[in-house]
Structure 1
Amino acid sequence: MKIQNSIALFCAIIGFSAKSQNAIPIVSINPKEIISNEFIGSGIEFSAYPHADTDDSQWGKLMTDEKWQLVFDRVSFIKPKIARVMDQANWRYLKGFDATGNPIVDFESDQMKALYKLLDYCEKNKIIVILGEWGQPYKLHDTHLNLQNSFTGANDQKWIDLIVKNLDHLLNVKKYSCIKYYNLVNEPNGDWATTDGDFQQWKEGIQMLHKSIEKAGLGKKISIIGPDATDFNNPRSKYKGLDWAKQTALQIPDLVAAYDVHDYPSKESIRSGLFQKKFSDLVRFTDSVHKKPFILGELGLKGEPSSKKHLGDKFTSVDSQLSVYDYDYGVDMADALIQAINSGFDAIVAWDLDDAMHTKDDKGDKYQLKRWGMFNSLGKELTDDKADEDLRPWFYTWSVMTRNFTGDMKIVKLDNLSIDKVRATIGITTSGDFTIAIVNNSDAAANFTIDTKGLKLKSKLNKYLYSENNRPVDAKGYPVPIEKINLKGKRIPVSIPAKSVILYTTYQQ
């Protein structure tokens, strides 16, 4: 009898253990643990087509009204909350120098009118704009102005005055309220930047720019963002890559209204989750010194291109990511966006929207396109390939997440999600709307339950699915929900395929 009882007890323990191991994990929402309460949302790098915007540009005026409308229609679906608009003075308004060496500007040039077209769109659609210049105007970027020795660096007051004159025109004459931030020099820590990694030069430039903006009475309309550094170690720089952000917080916190950095992580660092850890530590540091919005100003994935058919493309420069043509890039960019949000970034900007915006070194060589975009709006004109104008896979995940994570949300913590390579983030509004994005970057399906206790649940959820064999679209190729879910009880059952993305939202847009 004792033997039988022991056997029965043993079987019961084994059965309980097996049941426990197969139990569906329950993920809980922790609205009291706020990751970001200054959330802006995600967006795009958006340039005014410097090689194709006017009759005088390198390619002529390929950006016709029809082409602009194509771009605006697609951007309208994305609903970016923020756009980074970088330019060059000599692409737009700097036309040379008079006999005394003073700059000649033309704010009604055809090139400026192309920029106004872009800014008019941002103004109408309430998109926050980060405006800036890639660097000081110089000869490499221009074929008809001799600017090689016209400016001496970011700390040249003549260049600062030129910038402020342009800002005064945009803010006071054109009355653009969408322009919130100014970015002085793209990636100033890089050896490709006009500052060549000289932190002191960049810092002096920021000090001069801040003083000049205040003197011009623009301080209530425009703020400086910085340092715009990239995770790259320029040996000539006093500080390593992202340490520029730490030094900005330590040395000149009162001169910048927001921090920003760039990153092009490897696919492995995204899939392993190391990306989130790196930036959680950085945001935590700057918050501890002087808390303010932190923006990831450029995000794309570096790595070996996987689209073999495009490797021999004669129009592609070495500064490209050919994985944009692949399904997996949509998963990886969604994963990167989720990790960026969870690490505490308040806004994330994708590099970039459209292949037609930039060429290597921006010399206008159509055989040196920077292929990073969600499409190539000039596919037929530049490459004689109309199909290159089609939306690429990662448009799906970036647009769905950008549309449904809004600036009135707080990003809060999700607890107990510990499935390998499965990550999620949630944004909640005070009115009861919420969006949950989930990525499964593993090779196996995953199942868990989200406990929504504490949320103001509405009757229906839209569910979007991005999987290799099922990602519904409308006639334009825009994502549509795979189903509407009637909420029953307080839990959302999640079954997410391998290498896929799911988004739940109360928004019915």
Structure 2
Amino acid sequence: MKNISKYFILASLIILVNACSTQTQTANKELITFNINIDSSTETLTNFAGFGAEWDSRNYLAYGVDKNDFELIKERLDWLEIPIVRIMMQTNWFFKQGVGYTPNSPDMQSLYRHLDYCQDNNVDVILTDWGIEPDWLKVSGLQKVDDKKYAEIIADYLDYLYNDQGYTCIKYFVLVNEPNYEVGDFSRWGEGIRNVYQEMKRKGLTDKIMLAGSGQSNADDWHINAVDHFHGIFGGYTFHRYEWNEFIRNQKFISYVRNLTDYVKEKDPEWRSKQVIISEAGMRDGQSTAINKNIDKFEYGMFMADYAIQALQGGAHGVLAWMLDDNSHPDFEWGLWKNKENNFEIRKWFYSWGLFIKYFKRDSEMFLPITRSVNLRTMAAKSPDDEWSYAFINYEDFDVYINVNNDFMGNEDLLKFIYKEGMIKIDEDGFPKSNDEIESEEGKFTFVLPANSTVVITSID
């Protein structure tokens, strides 16, 4: 037994020495370097809508989100400088059979609070009427989505919101959330689209609010049919996509999105002036209607950053995460922060998605350079104010050097934010703080991109 113990100890020491030697060699070895070039040959995307989120007022009343609570939410939105949101509308908030229009209903008052913020802060709104066919959305006196009375009510509330209340922030109107599920019949939904368009035209709204759609989820034939039938009246296109993590990780999402955006370019003569927006985005792994089991994990923030970059590489003009916060719907766990019952606690993925929202400005010229690595992602943005922002994702288990050479950028002082377990820095309000500062000389700068991280670098203060 003594000899066995002696040999065991000796063997253990040898293993320990070898392990330490390997770690030292790894730590001291020269890092792999990737060159990222931005020049006249780099793929670009214009008409950028920005990154945003779904922000619904539906359950704010039930959670008792009061004035003080809303001030906290406004502070977070102010920090984000969010450029675009999608907001739920329900016809039964505005109309009751036997009563008529109810613009002062509690649900409408709650909606106005959201729209007030958007109007005051130059936030584009995609207003979506959730429909009237599911049991929980039914409106007494209305039948199906092709009911002409339904279209009249929609045009009347849009007229009230835009002209009477002054909510010119409403940029798009979408008829029915995920109509392939909620309606299930393209012909009936299409008749509803025509009815709404005619009623909006009668009210003089078609030059003020653009119809968009189809808003489908997992039914690309609806997108194709919508482009075929309604490119003459749609001012933009939307679709939803909850994607598998492996699909994103293997960079297959680019071609999926490209197929949808290419179809718009092929069939719509006015495609250059129209945006294609993914108006609900999230991870399919762990998904249910109410929650995503991965929402509190660090990896969710990596996933959403990668999702966004690939969406733009596929030709999408914007991505809206589902969703902003958990107060919007009962017992939800999808938000950048939790609901009032859970003290509005900020989740980890607020860091990465918040940086994308804040620093990749609406109407930026987006640059999508080639990385020459299956484990590296990148994009860059030149803002309307000639500021620059960059995003980098490293899936490798080791750090790498990044050399950036941007022909269009001069000398800049840059902030570097690192989204990586153990390296995230936040201030007293839970907002991201920069980890480092970098100087560029004539558009050139070099930095270390940590293993398994997302990094945002920006010239915006």
Residues 1:414 and 2:415 aligned together: no
8 Å contact kept, 2:39–2:408: no
Residues 1:289 and 2:267 aligned together: yes
Residues 1:127 and 2:123 aligned together: yes
1:475 aligned partner, one-letter code: E
Whole-Å Cα distance in 2 between the matches of residues 204 and 456 of structure 1?
Answer: 50
Residues 1:395 and 2:386 aligned together: no
1:282 aligned partner, one-letter code: L
Identity %: 26
1:36 aligned partner, one-letter code: L
Counting only pairs closer than 5 Å after superposition, residues 249-264 of structure 1 correspond to structure 2 as: 249-264=227-242
Whole-Å Cα distance in 1 between the matches of residues 224 and 101 of structure 2?
Answer: 37
Q: What residue number does 1:447 align with?
A: 401
2:53 aligned partner, one-letter code: I
Q: What residue number does 1:498 align with?
A: 451
8 Å contact kept, 1:474–1:480: yes
Q: Are residues 22 and 504 of structure 1, via their aligned partners in 2, closer, same or farther at CA, if it must alter by over 3 Å? A: closer
User: CA deviation digits over 1:451-473, x for unaligned, max 9?
Assistant: 11x21324301111111110111
Q: What residue number does 2:94 align with?
A: 93
Whole-Å Cα distance in 2 between the matches of residues 114 and 75 of structure 1?
Answer: 17
Q: Are residues 405 and 393 of structure 1, via their aligned partners in 2, closer, same or farther at CA, if it must alter by over 3 Å? A: same
- Secondary structure at 2:248's aligned position in 1? helix
Whole-Å Cα distance in 2 between the matches of residues 349 and 342 of structure 1?
Answer: 16
Q: Are residues 497 and 395 of structure 1, via their aligned partners in 2, closer, same or farther at CA, if it must alter by over 3 Å? A: same
Query: 332, 335, 339: which one pairs with 1:377?
Result: 339
Whole-Å Cα distance in 1 between the matches of residues 174 and 124 of structure 2?
Answer: 13
Q: What residue number does 1:117 align with?
A: 113
2:101 aligned partner, one-letter code: V
8 Å contact kept, 1:35–1:344: no
2:348 aligned partner, one-letter code: P
Counting only pairs closer than 5 Å after superposition, residues 15-414 of structure 1 correspond to structure 2 as: 24-31=33-40, 33-48=42-57, 50-53=58-61, 59=62, 62-90=64-92, 92-94=93-95, 96-98=96-98, 104-136=100-132, 139-141=135-137, 147=138, 150-190=141-181, 193=182, 195=183, 197-231=184-218, 241-290=219-268, 291=271, 292-304=274-286, 319-359=290-330, 369-380=331-342, 386=343, 389-414=344-369
8 Å contact kept, 2:418–2:456: yes
**Further displaced range: 247-256 or 114-123:** 247-256
2:457 aligned partner, one-letter code: Y
Whole-Å Cα distance in 1 between the matches of residues 148 and 112 of structure 2?
Answer: 26
Whole-Å Cα distance in 1 between the matches of residues 423 and 32 of structure 2?
Answer: 27
- Secondary structure at 1:352's aligned position in 2? coil
Whole-Å Cα distance in 2 between the matches of residues 351 and 335 of structure 1?
Answer: 15
Q: What residue number does 1:465 align with?
A: 418
- TM superposition shift of 1:249: 1.6
- Secondary structure at 1:117's aligned position in 2? helix
Whole-Å Cα distance in 2 between the matches of residues 413 and 376 of structure 1?
Answer: 33
1:260 aligned partner, one-letter code: T
Query: Please, which runs of 5 or more residues in structure 2 have no aligned partner?
Result: 1-29
- TM superposition shift of 1:140: 2.1
2:94 aligned partner, one-letter code: Y
Q: Are residues 467 and 107 of structure 1, via their aligned partners in 2, closer, same or farther at CA, if it must alter by over 3 Å? A: same
- TM superposition shift of 1:152: 2.4
**Further displaced range: 437-446 or 111-120:** 437-446
| Runs of 4+ residues over 6 Å off in structure 1 | none
Whole-Å Cα distance in 2 between the matches of residues 149 and 431 of structure 1?
Answer: 50
Whole-Å Cα distance in 1 between the matches of residues 132 and 256 of structure 2?
Answer: 31
1:404 aligned partner, one-letter code: Y
8 Å contact kept, 1:31–1:413: no
Query: Please, which runs of 5 or more residues in structure 1 have no aligned partner?
Result: 1-20, 54-58, 142-146, 232-240, 306-316, 360-368, 381-385
Whole-Å Cα distance in 2 between the matches of residues 133 and 166 of structure 1?
Answer: 11
8 Å contact kept, 1:432–1:457: no
1:110 aligned partner, one-letter code: P
Q: Are residues 433 and 484 of structure 1, via their aligned partners in 2, closer, same or farther at CA, if it must alter by over 3 Å? A: same
8 Å contact kept, 1:184–1:206: yes
Whole-Å Cα distance in 1 between the matches of residues 432 and 40 of structure 2?
Answer: 29
Whole-Å Cα distance in 2 between the matches of residues 330 and 175 of structure 1?
Answer: 36
Whole-Å Cα distance in 2 between the matches of residues 442 and 207 of structure 1?
Answer: 51
Q: Are residues 34 and 213 of structure 1, via their aligned partners in 2, closer, same or farther at CA, if it must alter by over 3 Å? A: farther
8 Å contact kept, 2:132–2:139: no
- Secondary structure at 1:332's aligned position in 2? helix
